[in-house]
Structure 1
Amino acid sequence: MTTIDPTVGHPRRRAILGVLCLSLLIVVIDNTILNTALPTLARALQASTTDLQWITDAYTLTFAALLIAAGALGDRYGRRRALQFGLAVFALGSAAAALSGGASSLIAARAVMGVGAAFVMPATLSLLSAVFPVRERAAAIGAWSAVAGIGIVVGPTLGGLLLAHFYWGSVFWVNVPLVAVALVLVVTVIPDLPGRGREGTRLDVLGAALSAASLVAVVDAVIEGPDRGWTSMTTLAEAVLGLALFAAFITHELRSVSPLIDVRVFGHRAFSAATAAIGITFFALFGSLFALTQYLQLVHGYSALSAGVRALPFAGAVLVTAPLSSLLVRAVGVRVIVPAGLAAMGGGLLLLTGATPTSAYSYLAVGVAIMGAGMGLVMAPAGESLLSVLPAEQAGVGSAVNDTVQELGGSLGVAIIGSVVSGSFRHGLDSSGLPAPLVQAARPSIAHADAVSAQVGPAGLRLLEAAHDSFTTAMTSGFTLAGVVALAGAVVIAVALPGRTRRASGSTAPEQELVGTGT
């Protein structure tokens, strides 16, 4: 076992950071690599919009449900072991997904991939915190956040590139050799740090089960609500069950001798505001990308590769602003930078609400780039604020909270914004005046509408035009919701984040932003 002086850090910390970023990139890319494949999957697997939402959310929901437990296990038994286990499970799930013969089997394989990713992501951030000294940690987290942001948007481009040359399963097969390389590097580069679980205490299995079950119940109710009916007994019962399980989780954690996480930290303004900022960012991002990639391919007619490339302005903007975010925080404070980032995301989304079926790409690129700049400003400062509250022995759980909020925000974004887009699209078709049989055949998704329009002769042109108009209107409705949530979040978080304050008397350190301690 390797021990590290926290004032100096590990001598190979930059090489370790590179391996951690590669591992992170593999699982983060899979959050969005499927976006450009959604139209292809809809055609190849006869998947409806609800199927597409589940294919996307099975990964992020499992990811979110298990992150806290996986972070605690990494803290207890060793973070390198957690990283190795997670990468291996992720590769197995990827192979199963590539071999899937239908939507149901693909959804199950995506859930297995989510289990692996749940062990990988918190391990990368907690290992980073362990090998870097405090004075370098903000810059390292900035690089980690930049990779996460870039990976999210490189995913559609990579997916498009693979689909241009191979079948849809290639977006999963690509993970297998990448994981093999990462596993070799983990063994050879990353030190075997001891777990930091408390001696003589048991792992909080009941807390882990309650947290996972509550997340699954709530998100499932949101995803299935549009089909079941928001006021149906099943939807209401599941939502109430999820909230009851969450209340039970909080109660259990407050009473437990060895809780999964000390939920009292959410009483700290910096911690709560940071988690909210991260959740809102991913809610807006994942929900908007779910609609935007379908718009680019099925309305504008871009190929999967061309649609992926047209998401690159987002990645470029993240690449510029994420490394600068720590410097900007030092200059004007986290209370300015994080809300400014959320406001930029909201502004970019509201700009995109002016899109039409014939909008020029340059117009879309500006809105996407503004969103990317906003995300780059949010992620590193918010993540650093969140981690600074927790003691070192809970670094894995703290990073798991950070990642859980990301994935849960993304799951809710796809579920809620996807449902808004789906409902609005169907309403638009119902109001189009087209024959009822045509409308009924086209209602499941815009991909179905495209397929039907190619088979019905002269009426197909009218159906295609109505479908494109309806989907664009539906997409802008989703963008409006996401933009309003981001702007409202910016206002609330600007109030909630603590201001600049001076260190306790007797300290010789210069005045700085104390986002974690409020000392």
Structure 2
Amino acid sequence: MKTRWWALAALCFAELLVMVDNTIVNVALPTLARDLDAGISGLQWIVDAYTLVFAGLLLTGGYLGDRFGHRRMLLTGIAGFAAVSVLAASSQTLGQLIAARAGLGLFAALVFPATLAIIVAVFVESKERAVAVGVWAATSGIAVAIGPVLGGWLLENFSWASVFWVNLPVAAIAVVAIVAVVPGTRPERVARFDLIGLLLSVVGLGLLTYSVIEGPHFGWADPRTIAGLLVAVGALGLFAWRELTIDHPILNIRLFANRHFATAAAMISVAFFALFGFIFLITQYFQAVKGYSPFEAGLRTLPFAIVMAVFSPVAMTLSQRFGPRPVVVAGAAFMSAGFGVVEVSSRTSGYWELIIWAMSLMAMGLAFISGPCTQVIMDALRPEQAGAGSAVNDTTRELGGTLGVAVLGSVLTSVYTAGVVDRLSALGLPRSITGLAEESVMAGVEVARNAPAVAGDQMLVAVQEVFVDGLHSAVWVAVAITAVAAIAAAYLLRGAPGERSPGGDTESASAPVDLALAHSTDGQRQDIRPVP
């Protein structure tokens, strides 16, 4: 095997390290709710503190890789990730754990864009690059699904801190492999860093996520929620305006003037919005409604990873043969259908009869979107833009995932908190009991299990049914978004590189001549065209 393929394996292993952390805590959420006294919003923050900082700093990570060398940033990120994992494992309070998760997101933002940038630099031949990018994209999706399995096994045998201690040996192996087989990259001459742009993006994304997560608790009409959303939109608008007007943008907004680039980025964001939101919901469903242990719950997400692994190379082959548009459209349709299947589920639905088919459709859809869209994004960039381009690609994933947990989790919370109080009050239970159950579904399950037998059974059924009602409401959002995305992709990806024309010929891999105008590092304007 040639050295570059060993390098791909090492880079995917490093990618696995940071992507697994997106979801490894999901099966630990019920345990964390008990041990750290966390409500639903607290659980959302345990997940989203990581993805929010990860997404907010990915552009910075890409810039630093371009400036100082991607392998150097990759190794720095892995070392910092391991160090902060120790702090996360040692957390004694909810606030400490959320802060540590944010720290993990910071160093993950150095690792993730470096992996794809090095792959693009190492694989110069187009067909080999397509295969390598497909493997990288598949690893991302598989890692997200593997997280609950690994986390469940660790929780079955150790404390919740083990989901962070496991990062240390994985990080050590990754460092050794990278030093051994991954080549260094030459630092690029880049413009000075746009600190104001970074701050505006972090404030905008942070306030948006905060307002969506806390909306069910403050109230959607509460001045704090409305003000937070308005300020977030204003900050993101200022960020876009600044990036369009300065000579050294942290994000070249003009890249999104290319229809194919913008659509591919949006489709990846939609896919990971649906994926992260679903895993946040389904791991709680498995434990609170079906009564599975953490490991049993994690194992039941494993088919997602298997289907993703099987269909990712199929998706890349089909995309090379027919172009990305039909593959991506089919992927969004598969995801929408998978969520649609969830809508007919109940608290008594069987895993093998229903749930596994919903997950398989979603996994197939993610495979059909992720690889082909990543290839479209990277084909639109010059090699010297690999760091920034991979950061844009990665940002769409993490931002979509962050909003998926925030939005779908908040829809669930709104329905659950309103419904559980009504159902339990109708059973004649006092406010002291309904208030405890209102905190989270696992809190409601614990209260029911500690109640006398008959009353406890009634409470448990009520809590589980209200949770399933909230699950259905949240999933309708995902059904609608993925269905609209399929329709949009069918229109907007027309003429994408590799698409077959009506006469049977393949379209040129080149995008329109003027993809965007940007400033070179010496201040002269230059055209940015895709790599042939």
Residue 239, structure 1, aligned to residue 229, structure 2: yes
Q: Judging changes above 3 Å, is the alpha-carbon distance between structure 1 residues 48 and 502 closer, same or farther for their aligned structure 2 residues?
A: closer
- Mapping of residues 317-396 of structure 1, within 5 Å: 317-362=307-352, 363-396=354-387
TM-aligned CA deviation for residue 158 of structure 1: 0.5
**One-letter identity of the residue aligned with 1:87:** I
| CA shift digits 1:18-38 (9 cap, x unpaired) | 110000001011111111111
TM-aligned CA deviation for residue 192 of structure 1: 1.7
Equivalent position of 1:408 in the other structure: 399
Q: Judging changes above 3 Å, is the alpha-carbon distance between structure 1 residues 516 and 285 closer, same or farther for their aligned structure 2 residues?
A: farther
SS at match of 1:295: helix
Structure 2 Cα separation of the partners of residues 48 and 302 of structure 1: 20
Structure 1 Cα separation of the partners of residues 71 and 493 of structure 2: 33
**One-letter identity of the residue aligned with 2:182:** I
Structure 2 Cα separation of the partners of residues 178 and 325 of structure 1: 29
| CA shift digits 1:287-327 (9 cap, x unpaired) | 11111111111111111111111111111111111111121
Q: Judging changes above 3 Å, is the alpha-carbon distance between structure 1 residues 248 and 140 closer, same or farther for their aligned structure 2 residues?
A: same
- Mapping of residues 89-488 of structure 1, within 5 Å: 89-135=80-126, 136-198=128-190, 201-362=191-352, 363-432=354-423, 433-434=426-427, 435-437=429-431, 438-457=433-452, 458-488=454-484
Which of 71, 80, 88 is the matching residue for 1:80? Answer: 71
Contact 2:16 2:140 in 1 (8 A): yes
Contact 2:265 2:396 in 1 (8 A): yes
**One-letter identity of the residue aligned with 1:486:** T
Equivalent position of 2:31 in the other structure: 40
**One-letter identity of the residue aligned with 1:441:** L
Contact 2:243 2:251 in 1 (8 A): yes
SS at match of 2:439: coil
Structure 1 Cα separation of the partners of residues 25 and 73 of structure 2: 25
Contact 1:334 1:513 in 2 (8 A): no
SS at match of 1:480: helix
TM-aligned CA deviation for residue 130 of structure 1: 0.3
Which of 481, 487, 493 is the matching residue for 1:491? Answer: 487
Comparing 137-146 with 189-198, greater Cα deviation is found at 189-198
Equivalent position of 1:22 in the other structure: 13
| CA shift digits 1:214-251 (9 cap, x unpaired) | 21121112111221222222222222222222122222
**One-letter identity of the residue aligned with 1:48:** G
Equivalent position of 1:5 in the other structure: none
Structure 1 Cα separation of the partners of residues 321 and 183 of structure 2: 35
Tell me the matched-pair count. Answer: 502
Structure 1 Cα separation of the partners of residues 449 and 14 of structure 2: 43
TM-aligned CA deviation for residue 456 of structure 1: 2.6
**One-letter identity of the residue aligned with 1:168:** W
TM-aligned CA deviation for residue 183 of structure 1: 1.2
| Structure 2 unaligned residues grouped into runs of 5+ | 514-532
Q: Judging changes above 3 Å, is the alpha-carbon distance between structure 1 residues 335 and 502 closer, same or farther for their aligned structure 2 residues?
A: closer
TM-aligned CA deviation for residue 205 of structure 1: 2.2
Comparing 420-429 with 334-343, greater Cα deviation is found at 420-429
| CA shift digits 1:322-358 (9 cap, x unpaired) | 1111210122221111111011011001111111111
| CA shift digits 1:168-189 (9 cap, x unpaired) | 1001100011101111222222
Structure 1 Cα separation of the partners of residues 496 and 359 of structure 2: 32
Contact 1:385 1:515 in 2 (8 A): no
Structure 1 Cα separation of the partners of residues 451 and 311 of structure 2: 49
| CA shift digits 1:67-100 (9 cap, x unpaired) | 0111111111100111011111111221111100
Contact 1:498 1:518 in 2 (8 A): no
Structure 2 Cα separation of the partners of residues 501 and 177 of structure 1: 41
| CA shift digits 1:258-281 (9 cap, x unpaired) | 222321110110011001100110
Q: After TM superposition, what 4+ stretches of structure 1 lie above 3 angstroms from structure 2?
A: 500-503, 510-516
Structure 2 Cα separation of the partners of residues 289 and 203 of structure 1: 36
**One-letter identity of the residue aligned with 2:48:** D
SS at match of 1:168: coil
SS at match of 2:183: coil
Equivalent position of 2:511 in the other structure: 517
TM-aligned CA deviation for residue 516 of structure 1: 5.6
Which of 35, 39, 48 is the matching residue for 1:57? Answer: 48
SS at match of 1:431: helix
Q: Judging changes above 3 Å, is the alpha-carbon distance between structure 1 residues 515 and 223 closer, same or farther for their aligned structure 2 residues?
A: farther
Structure 2 Cα separation of the partners of residues 60 and 448 of structure 1: 25
Structure 2 Cα separation of the partners of residues 184 and 317 of structure 1: 30
Percent of aligned positions that are identical = 40
TM-aligned CA deviation for residue 512 of structure 1: 3.4
Contact 1:339 1:491 in 2 (8 A): yes
**One-letter identity of the residue aligned with 1:451:** E
| Structure 1 unaligned residues grouped into runs of 5+ | 1-9, 504-509
Q: CA RMSD in A?
A: 1.7
SS at match of 2:283: helix
Structure 1 Cα separation of the partners of residues 498 and 304 of structure 2: 36
Contact 2:154 2:163 in 1 (8 A): yes
SS at match of 1:368: helix
Q: Judging changes above 3 Å, is the alpha-carbon distance between structure 1 residues 473 and 513 closer, same or farther for their aligned structure 2 residues?
A: farther
SS at match of 2:450: coil
Structure 1 Cα separation of the partners of residues 140 and 133 of structure 2: 10
SS at match of 2:43: helix
Structure 2 Cα separation of the partners of residues 368 and 455 of structure 1: 33
Structure 2 Cα separation of the partners of residues 498 and 484 of structure 1: 22
Q: Judging changes above 3 Å, is the alpha-carbon distance between structure 1 residues 268 and 448 closer, same or farther for their aligned structure 2 residues?
A: same
Structure 2 Cα separation of the partners of residues 190 and 329 of structure 1: 28
Structure 2 Cα separation of the partners of residues 301 and 430 of structure 1: 22
Contact 2:260 2:496 in 1 (8 A): no
| CA shift digits 1:436-495 (9 cap, x unpaired) | 422222111111111111233142221111001111121122112111111111111211
TM-aligned CA deviation for residue 430 of structure 1: 2.6
